[in-house]
Structure 1
Amino acid sequence: MKKTIQINIAGMVFNIEEDAYEKLNAYLASIKQYFASYEGSQEIVSDIEARIAEKFWTNQKSDSQPVITYEGVNDLIKSMGSVSDFEAIEEEEDLKNTAQSTANNTQSTFSSQQSTAGSQESDSKATQPKRLYRDVKRKALGGVLAGLAHYFNIDVVWVRIIYLLLFLGLPPIDDDLGPISGFVFLAYFVCWVVFPPNFNLDEDKKIKKFYRDNDNKVLGGVCSGLAAYFGVDITVIRLLFVLSVFLFGTGFLAYIILWIVAPKAQTLTQKMEMKGEPVTLSNIETNIKESINVDKNAPENALTKILLFPFRLVGIVIKALGEVLKHLGPVARVLAGIMLMLFSLAMIVGVVAAVAAFFGVASGIEGTEFFDRSPFKIFSQDIHPMTGFFAFLAMFTPFLALLLTGLTLLSNRRIGNRNFWISLLGLWLAGLMGTGILATKYALNFKKKGRFEQTKNFPYTLSGQTLVLDANNNQDDDFEEFQIREDVEVNLEGYEGTDLKLEQRFESSGPTKAEAEANAKNILYNVIQKDSSLSFDQKISLPEKARFRGQDLHMTLYVPYDKPFKITKSFYHSVYRHDWGNKNFELDGDDVDKYTYVMKRDSGMVCRDCPKLSDEEREALRDNRYDDDDDSAFDYGVFEEKGQHEKKFELSGFDKVEVGGAFIVTIRKGSSFEVIADTDDQSDLDDIDFEIRNNTLEIGHKDKFSFSRRNETVRINITMPSLEGLDISGASTLKVIGFKDKNKDLDIQLSGASKAAIDVEVRKIEFDASGASKADLRGSAERVNMDISGACHIDAKRMEINQARADASGASHISFGKVKDFDSNTSGASKISRE
């Protein structure tokens, strides 16, 4: 029987045998005495005591021994080293000239002792199967990433960095893999639920850890920490960061992420772990001596000063902002709390209203005209009522958390305990999982595509009357079928025949191809011939008990060549697939019913009795359409203004135009070359620089550094026979009209804050835009390839396009009309839409 006593080491309480206590007390006393002459000796001893407490705590958990024994203290001293050991080494160094060799041998002895102890400990654990746990002891949130780091024997900092990069969508992954950010976010909470917690995971001391080096920092200590971790010169790391800042800001982003994720090396133990050194008394003394001998006033070389300048500048700015914002903390906290509360309350009201409406629909408000004639009737047959419950949990709980966070900021008091927040998190995860499962089940109804095609013939014999193509507004008719508010489209083509021939392609989705085809056959659509009129329904409809599966209808009406026909306004606006401006005749949509049309073998649809317009009248008509367009982002009136001073330039032999600066440029097609510029200030006119290089007319300013002389608007009117390329930058505004050659390709590049209104008919358009460019595309093109970045806005709804491929990034927006073959890819906050 042995007597035990209770001791406190670094804030941790242990039970220790009496003889073990005497041994440990003598060991600590020798350490205190040895380091008493060092500056900051109290901090050094406290750090050593914390290391000793950590070792005792780990040994107790792994060996299930509630008491520290005499043998346990001896094992600790062997692993840490004793004062007498390296005192003997120092005496021997004074007597011998081979001090370095002896020191290395002694250090090797200490390291081998620690390595032997560590290997024995690892051998004892090697027999145990490795399992995944949540490392609760070293957790930042739930301990999932710390547990993964322990399982794979790597520093948890790198696991957190990888997770953060994936959550931010870096590097970008193809859209076919889905939203990676949402996947890793959900995976974390799934692992939180699946992995069991473990409070006793032993830390592998052999793993080199990454810390921010606070002693050698300039800004946050990231570069010096990386240099210590990888064992390279700190100048190399800083140079790499400075260079990577110019690679789209990746260096700055990486620095911020590492600053957030990596902890700061504050204690001696952490500083030694940062260098990968074992924590022994000998190494502690060595690090202390190195820190004492550092000459902080040593001069820096020129390269070091250059590399450190941006970091020091940012550090000064951050420090100044910190001093300013320090006194605004309470005000900012209250304002942030109020904003969070108002926002979350508004969103909660919206969520409750939406869910209430959903349950009203799901419960079946049948018998009411609203329900029976609305899309809710179809959707209520497919969507499970529990979807509303899970959606409520998924949407309500985060806004409730924001509301409570706002209250916390406002009251400066914590609201809710740990169990409450964990329960709220669990409800949110349950809502996400439930909604995802039910939504996936519903989405499987659209897994396969199916189609059904049929051909109908209508006699053209009209006994002297002219055929009229009309559209029937079946949206308000009294029928029992359910209408899909999906526009149908009718293409008009000519052919060698005597009757009207209508080809219909019904399309739908379904869980299987057979069901998809059956759904396509269930589409109801009427085409009625009465006297001289052939009337098309404006919308497709479904039987009463049919399910919505993305039904659609495409039609082509073949009209015999040279047979006259008319079209009504309703047909033109509702179902006829026409291109803007009627490429073969200049008419507004309100005038289409006044004239007669025929299909020609060589020129397609032709107006027989439309008024003939001159080129100037046709151009004026198109300009008026531009001006009357409410959706347009341009002020087309600027093209029609004219300055007091005008100059004509003798330039020719170019088929491309490059504009840099802030000009207003109009490019027209003509049989010869003509370049005329006008402005209200003669000096601005004299400052224009024209140069032809490689068949490209380059327009800029002679004095590229004189901004004061460019106050007046400079307009440039260009006439040229052929146009193959445009490169517009700066703040220029461009209008292109009159180029119609379907055997030509056009390359367009916009950058900066440039604007372009382009009306052409070509074979292919290669379109690149960046910055805050805007463009309005009209006319026609067989194929259009777009690569848009930044905050551009491209409107191509009024251009007839057969094939389109569009890539958009940043906050760009592209709008297309009806495109047959369409492929798009978006990233960031960009958006691509089509009719």
Structure 2
Amino acid sequence: MNKTVNINLAGIFFHIDEDAYLKLQRYLEAIKRSFTDSQGRAEIIADIEARIAELFSERLINERQVIGNKEVDEVISIMGQPEDYLVDDEIFEDEPQSSSSQKEKSNKKLFRDTDNSYIGGVSAGLAHYFGIDAIWIRLIWILLVVGGFGTGILLYILLWILVPEAKTTAEKLMMTGEPVNISNIEKKIKDGFDSVSETVSGVAKNVSDSVSGAAKKVDIKKQGNKIKSSSRTFFDTLADVIMFFFKIIAKFIGLILILIGASTLIALIVGLFSLGAIDIIPGTDLVGIVNAGETPVWFASLLAFLAVGIPFFFLFYLGLRILITNLKSIGKVAKLSLLGLWLFSLIGIAIVSIREASEHAYNEHYIEKMPLETRAKDTLIVSFAENDYFKNPFYRHDAFKVASNPEGKKTIFSKDLRIQVKSTTDSVASIKIEKSADGRNYEKALDRAKNIEYSYAFNNKDLVLDAYYSTAISNKYCEQEVLITLYLPVESVVYFEKNTESFLNYRTHSNNIVTSNQVNHYLTIGSDNVICKTCETEKEEESFEVNVDMPQVKINDKGIEIKTGDKQILKIDENGINGEVETVRVKIDSTGINITSDEKNENQ
């Protein structure tokens, strides 16, 4: 059992083993002693601690992990031993020849170099990353702006927003590809102070001898910050303004992402737990009816929940990270686990979908044909019986419903029926009931078709059909359909009542000779058509007579001619307009043509 200690290193809390803590403490004390008289000692120590905290964070799998001697030794090997770097000016002339820190190969990272910037430091940062002079990058930007119709400006702004600024010494070293160790941190910071000191010295030479003594005692750090603050450019201010508005937009986007992600997740969770009440919520039992592949409903719902919910969870998490900058990460283990579950759900949905689609791969028909005692010259009246399973029994649709049959068993009922009529040379009429259904193979499809129950009643000349078919729930709903074909002898008569209209085809095809607009008429069966005498009578009744004494209008390719009886009163053709009766007036407007005769005082 080892004792652990909580430490705060560069503002980050760590749990560290007591022995590892003592080793780290001795290491940091040795570093501080090495820089006792060094210029910028506080900044060097702060940057070293920040780098050590960063290295520790990279090695932690989760927040509760305890740092041990192994992690401390790894960090020390990267940063180097304090005794390897003498705090002396010679260290900047000759680099240490033997140091374990030199074994580290540091990869470059892309940052914005604001120390050498004209606008936002993007060009200088790219120059460090690609190892070329910044002037070439700036020339490329000019070419993109001029030759790319301004696309270079948009690209520059995007990089300005997305690429972070190199603020710390460690980031500036990573930007140039140098190893982030004690030697390089010290060199970088001391170079910066030397630059500031030279600037201050140049100013001090122009000051009178009376204040030269005071200039020697000036606080270098304070003066350096003052000079840096006073050299703030217009583009720096512009950058702050732009970033301020982008931060506001980002917060707004984060809020939208949170609302979308949260509302979707809540809806998915409610939907998932609703499956437990599948027998209580009306209509939810239909889910199992259409599930021909017989995949457990709870399993399919869980796959759908994971496939949709995990992306929206990350969307919600992204919104939180945008709004709360210091939000802790959920950890790599959790991210990889969620990714694995998401991939598993996608594969599962693909398998379930293929299994369900296979249940509709084949379609088979089962036919029953029975004679009807209807002969030539006989009349057959066809109608649909009323039923208790559908509120409107006379309207055909493809939907189905689940209800209890007379025996009290839950059964699938559907009105997916169609009727067609064909003539036959047989002396007796017949009815053919063709049932069809889908299945994963021909045998399964045929079995489902056979299990469709459909009935009718024939009494003398009345054929009463059921307006639905039924099948057991175990057959599932697999595109079951019933086609009723009436084979009627030539010269027999058939009469379809109004309630059969929606079940008849609206046109003739495939030897079908009766259409839906011929209901409520006595139809005489011909060899390949029907004769409807009452249909013709209706057409005659709908026609109207034209009074010959009224003005008549004749329009053809020659022009317009208006006559009253045999007398021409107005003619419009290529020769112009000719009229013989002054009492006739013609008015043409948006309502049409209005012709008025004073003699008759009527309109046509």
Q: TM-score, normalised by structure 1?
A: 0.37
Relative contact order, CA 8 A, sep 6+: which one is greater?
A: 2
Report the structure number with the largest CA radius of gyration.
2
More strand by proportion, 1 or 2? 1
Output the TM-score relative to the length of structure 2.
0.47
Between Structure 1 and Structure 2, the one with more helix by share is: 2
